Amino acid sequence: MKFDFTSLLKSEIKPALGVTEVGAIALAAARAYDAVGGTLLHIQMVMNGGMYKNAFSCAIPGTEELGCEMAAALGALGGDWKLGLEVLKNINADHVAQAKALSIPIEIEVDETKDSIYIFAEVTTTKGVGLCRIEDFHANIVYVAKDDEVLFEGEKTEVTAAKGDIIDFEAVTVADMVDYAKNVPMEELDCIKGMIEMNCQLSAEGEKGVGLGIWKTLSAFQNKGALGNDMIYAAQKLTCSAMDARLAGLPFAAMSIVGSGSHGILCSMPVVSYGRYMEKSEEEIIRAVALSGLITIYSKHYTGRLSALCGCVLGGGSGAASGIVYLMGGGAKEVSAAMDHMAANLTGMICDGGSTGCALKASAGVYSAYLSAMLAMEGVEIPHNFGVIGSSAEQTEKNLGRISDEGMAPMDTTIIDVMKKGR
């Protein structure tokens, strides 16, 4: 069976400025305001729990501000909804000052009945009420209205890949994805080349010193002789610098995958770092990142785009482990083993929203991806049907989906409650 993996990658790999949940909130507010214009009087945002959680402590790109309320205010005041998840690209200090000076109510509500991505923005101004609804995908505007006049309502504005419109995920195997990475014509992988270039540029900005500065701490201990200047150190430096830049709110885009810049960084940077460390060709690196991207999308199909599990390390990290295995000369058997190692190691790591702390999780994900790849290449496999590990890597990913949907769903409610009351 032939699968259109090229279209799948192109539909899921997109530039995103800042954490995508902040961008999505700003996008909804910007579109609602654009529908009506006028002077702001009131902003009300209703969203699913995962959206609220991920944006709660998140830096607004190009500013020193945080969170859902500021994202909504800046979106309404100066956002350009036509830029999608780069909606805040043109925000400046004047917009921030205006947002801080607003004396209007900005209400943020969580709709606990919504399991998937959902944002409803209601922006009231001197000229009326603008409405915008986003569903299923971060930039998927499905409804726009001014007062009682519907301006837009219709089909999905993005390809609903996660629902199988492009790929029958139940029929896909790891071997199919490995075969694609090996044989796809290079001209079909321009989006992967773009991902590598953009995320490396972001890493270079983060290396200047923002966020937690994880690589600087590692470098300090490496200079003391306590750490080696090895392939894992190099990968953590490249990856964590990009994560620090993104999560600190620097005004530079990340190339996201499945709606997440963190996933895009983690599924690409460790693979690129290993390829360059081992002096692999550009073509080999691009093919390896393509495989990593497919494994990430495959994993997230089952665990969901927003969940209580940290998809960055389990989805993007499993992709990275697979891409590294590819560059090490492994095939479908070794890729499957590496995916199982990641599941055995990091299942249970919670997602407590987008923040500078995500760089710490990414660092752990990088180490685990390399360890998983090395174990797989040495012929070490987690026995099937141990714990969360299924009879195959494909079944393991389905098991993780059950853990995310059934087992950890109450966890999100608790995390959100802690966020609201724990300050």
pTM of the predicted model as reported, rounded to 2 decimal places? 0.88
Mean predicted confidence (pLDDT) in 70-85: 95
User: Are the CB atoms for 32 and 146 separated by under 8 Å?
Assistant: no
Contact 104, 42 (CB under 8 A): yes
Cα distance between the two ends of the chain: 53
Report residue 155's pLDDT band, with 50, 70 and 90 as the boundaries: low
Distance between CA atoms of 308 and 349, rounded to whole angstroms?
A: 8
Burial classification of residue 239, based on how many CB atoms lie within 10 Å of its CB (0-12 exposed, 13-18 middle, 19 or more buried): buried
Rounded to whole angstroms, the Cα distance separating 381 from 377 reads 10
Average pLDDT, rounded, for the chain: 92
Contact in structure between 338 and 384 (CB atoms under 8 Å): no
Average pLDDT over residues 173-202: 98
User: What confidence score (pLDDT) does residue 357 get?
Assistant: 87
Q: Are 352 and 296 in contact (CB under 8 A)?
A: no
Residue 9 pLDDT exceeds 50? yes
Residue 296 has pLDDT above 90, yes or no: yes
Determine contact, residues 178/335, Cβ cutoff 8 Å. yes
How confident is the model at residue 64, as a pLDDT?
Answer: 86
* Residues ≥6 apart with Cβ < 8 Å to 301: 162, 169, 397, 401
Distance CA 270, CA 10 (A): 21
66 phi and psi angles, rounded to 5 deg: -135, 155
Average pLDDT of span 381-404: 93
Task: Read off φ and ψ for residue 257, nearest 5 degrees.
Answer: -140, 145
Rg of the chain, C-alpha, whole Å? 21
* Structural contact between residues 309 and 365, judged by C-beta atoms closer than 8 angstroms: no
Q: Which pLDDT does position 423 carry in this prediction?
A: 59
Q: What's the rounded Cα separation, in Å, for the pair 376 and 222?
A: 27
Distance CA 231, CA 354 (A): 27
Alpha carbon distance 352, 172 (integer Å): 31
Q: Per-residue pLDDT tens for 320-375?
A: 999 999 999 999 999 999 999 999 999 989 888 888 889 999 999 999 999 999 99
The pLDDT of residue 158 is above 50: no
Q: Is the pLDDT of residue 160 over 50?
A: no
User: What is the Cβ-side half-sphere exposure of residue 173, based on CA atoms within 13 angstroms?
Assistant: 9
- CA 153, CA 141: separation in Å to the nearest integer? 9
Share of the chain above pLDDT 90, in %: 72
Three-state DSSP at 91 gives: coil
d(CA 325, CA 48): 37
Instruction: Enumerate the β-bridge partners of residue 118.
Output: 135
Mean pLDDT (whole number) for 395-419: 87
Of 76-90, 147-161, 178-192, 234-248, the range with the lowest mean pLDDT is 147-161
Do 143 and 132 form a contact (C-beta atoms < 8 A)? yes
Please give the angle made by the CA atoms of 420, 123 and 109, to the nearest 5 degrees.
Answer: 20
For 404, the token pair is: 């995310």
Tally of CA atoms within 13 A in the half-sphere of 109 that contains its CB: 13
pLDDT digits (tens, 9 = 90+) for 195-206: 999 999 999 999
Selection from 54, 47, 55 nearest residue 110 by Cα: 47
| 3-state secondary structure at position 226 | coil
Residue that the structure tokens 């190099």 belong to: 234
- Cβ distance 52 to 71 under 8 Å? no
Here the tokens at position 248 are: 């600190």
Q: How confident is the model at residue 157 (pLDDT cuts 50, 70, 90)?
A: very low
Count CB atoms within 10 A of the CB of residue 385: 11
Comparing 17-21, 95-99, 146-150, 278-282, the range with the smallest average pLDDT is: 17-21
DSSP character string of 196-231: HHHHHHHHHHHTTT-TT-HHHHHHHHHHTTSS--SH
Write out pLDDT tens, residues 217-268: 999 999 999 989 999 999 999 999 999 999 888 889 899 999 889 999 999 9
Q: Is the pLDDT of residue 211 over 90?
A: no
44 backbone dihedrals φ, ψ, rounded to 5°: -125, 125
Q: What is the largest CA-CA distance in the chain?
A: 68
Q: Is the pLDDT of residue 191 over 90?
A: yes
Q: Single out the residue of 304, 212, 228 nearest to residue 260, CA to CA.
A: 304
| Average pLDDT for 58-80 | 92
